[in-house]
């Protein structure tokens, strides 16, 4: 008698899928191509650890001095963990408006189309601690349908709680029910995403709209740090054990969104005569490097060049100083040329560093 194999329902998590098993990239904070420090600022998306960025809006208030840094975990503190991501603040900040916000964010490419839907659940887990007494973290999601054409408006998926951190590294978990995809329209640019927001600052207006109904405002509370480690998102209502990827595997995944020519971990604008690229000018306004990326980039691509003294939009003439005002043209596969109105010398070599940005 033949055995009948039942196919899984569409809302059943498929845990042998790598995306369903762990959708967050660099959740273990192993990859830091841009360097191990960053400075969050008002109304700026500041990337440090790959795929993660801080966004702050003071809404008329005053931000304290903030820094984002990579920190080593004490060996044995957290199984399969070596680093954590630390936000350090000089104080509480002051007079924040009702729309103030401070968030640590990752956008999961294609997360809406593959992880969301009617009655589908996703579970986010992370480890955190703070030496600021009473510091709260609020976790929330955004279900975004992408750009191009007439996509549906993104939807906020609120939580039912906020977490009060302690000085002990602790695991926090929340399960969210995602919104239906029936009747929704995805953008033509194929850039939908599911966004994870770890909120550390919010005014009452922002908090009630995006985080938790009835939540009270949260400042930075005081001087100190907030540590985050091992963030993951699993399909379903279970926070599975965290499984790190091989370093090279995680790095290659992250390079779909960002890559540069510096030695690994060196900020792109650092003065450096190592690992630079060179190309010969074709004529007075074109230089042809033909750089091939290690990983094909997603979507819209922004490329920048730096002279090896760290000057943005410049290359170094082999026989002299910097040539400024240089722009790039490129594709998902590489940078094809450097251009400017004039100033190159045909058949002369120019040397530079480059970065390619394709973040969501």
Structural domain for 161, as ranges:
18-254
Secondary structure of 305-352 in HEC code, one letter for each residue = EECCCCCECEEEECCCCEEECCEEEECCCEEEEEECCCCCCCCCEEEE
The CA angle 255-259-260, to the nearest 5 degrees, is 160
Q: How far apart are CA 245 and CA 66, in angstroms?
A: 30
> For the residues 332-357, what does the mean pLDDT come to?
92
Residues 30 and 76 in one domain: yes
Q: Does residue 131 lie within any of the structural domains?
A: yes
Helix (H, G, I), strand (E, B) or coil at 261: coil
**pLDDT at residue 156 above 70?**
yes
Q: Which of 195, 199, 204, 122 is nearest to 163 (CA)?
A: 199
Residues 161 and 310 in one domain: no
**pLDDT at residue 12 above 60?**
no
Residues 272 and 308 in one domain: yes
What's the CATH number where 46 sits? 2.60.120.260
Tell me phi and psi for residue 53, to 5 degrees.
-145, 150
pLDDT at res. 234:
97
- 291 Cβ neighbours under 8 A, 6+ residues apart: 261, 277, 330, 334, 335, 354
Long-range residue pairs from 12-17, CB within 8 A, at least 24 positions apart, any chain: 13/234, 13/235, 13/236, 14/235, 15/234, 15/235, 15/236, 15/240, 17/235
> For the residues 189-212, what does the mean pLDDT come to?
97
Q: Count the alpha carbons within 13 Å of 111 in the hemisphere toward its beta carbon.
A: 26
Q: Is the dihedral of CA 236, 240, 242, 244 positive or negative?
A: negative
Which DSSP symbol is given to 269? T
Query: Which of 232, 254, 276 is the C-terminal boundary of a domain?
Result: 254
Query: Which of 254, 272, 300 is the C-terminal boundary of a domain?
Result: 254
Q: Mean pLDDT, the chain, as a whole number?
A: 93
In this predicted model, what pLDDT tens digit does every residue of 94-122 receive, in sequence order?
999 999 999 999 999 999 999 999 999 99
Query: Which of 195, 225, 254 is the C-terminal boundary of a domain?
Result: 254
Domain count, the chain: 2
pTM to 2 decimal places: 0.93
5-9, 86-90, 304-308, 331-335: range with highest mean pLDDT: 86-90
């Amino acid at each position: 008698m033949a055995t009948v194999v039942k196919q899984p329902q569409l809302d059943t998590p498929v845990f042998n899928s790598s995306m369903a098993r762990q959708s967050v990239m660099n959740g273990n904070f192993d990859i830091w191509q841009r360097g191990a420090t960053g400075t969050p600022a008002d109304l700026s998306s500041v990337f440090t650890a790959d795929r993660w960025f801080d966004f702050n809006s003071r809404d008329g208030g005053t931000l304290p001095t903030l820094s984002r840094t990579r920190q080593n975990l004490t060996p044995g503190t957290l199984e399969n963990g070596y680093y954590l991501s630390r936000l350090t603040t000089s104080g509480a900040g002051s007079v924040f408006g009702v729309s103030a916000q401070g968030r640590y964010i990752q956008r999961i490419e294609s997360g809406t189309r593959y992880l969301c839907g009617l009655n589908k659940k996703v579970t986010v887990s992370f480890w955190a601690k703070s030496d600021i007494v009473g510091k709260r973290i609020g976790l929330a999601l955004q279900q975004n349908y992408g750009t191009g054409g007439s996509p549906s408006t993104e939807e906020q998926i609120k939580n039912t709680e906020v977490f009060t951190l302690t000085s002990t590294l602790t695991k926090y978990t929340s399960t969210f029910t995602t919104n239906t995809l029936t009747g929704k329209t995805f953008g033509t640019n194929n850039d939908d995403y599911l966004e994870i927001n770890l909120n550390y600052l919010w005014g009452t207006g922002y908090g009630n709209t995006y985080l938790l109904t009835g939540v009270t405002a949260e400042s930075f509370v005081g001087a100190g740090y907030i540590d985050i480690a091992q963030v993951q998102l699993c399909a379903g209502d279970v926070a599975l054990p965290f499984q790190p990827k091989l370093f090279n595997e995680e790095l290659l995944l992250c390079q779909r969104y960002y890559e540069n020519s510096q030695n690994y971990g060196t900020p792109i604008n650092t003065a450096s005569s190592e690992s630079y690229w060179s190309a010969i000018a074709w004529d007075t306004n074109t230089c042809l490097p033909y750089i091939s990326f290690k990983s094909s980039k997603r979507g819209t691509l922004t490329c920048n060049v730096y002279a090896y003294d760290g000057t943005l939009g410049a290359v170094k003439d082999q026989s002299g100083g910097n040539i400024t005002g240089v722009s790039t043209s490129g594709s998902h596969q590489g940078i094809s040329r450097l251009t400017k109105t004039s100033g190159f010398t045909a058949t002369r070599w120019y040397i530079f560093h480059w970065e390619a940005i394709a973040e969501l």
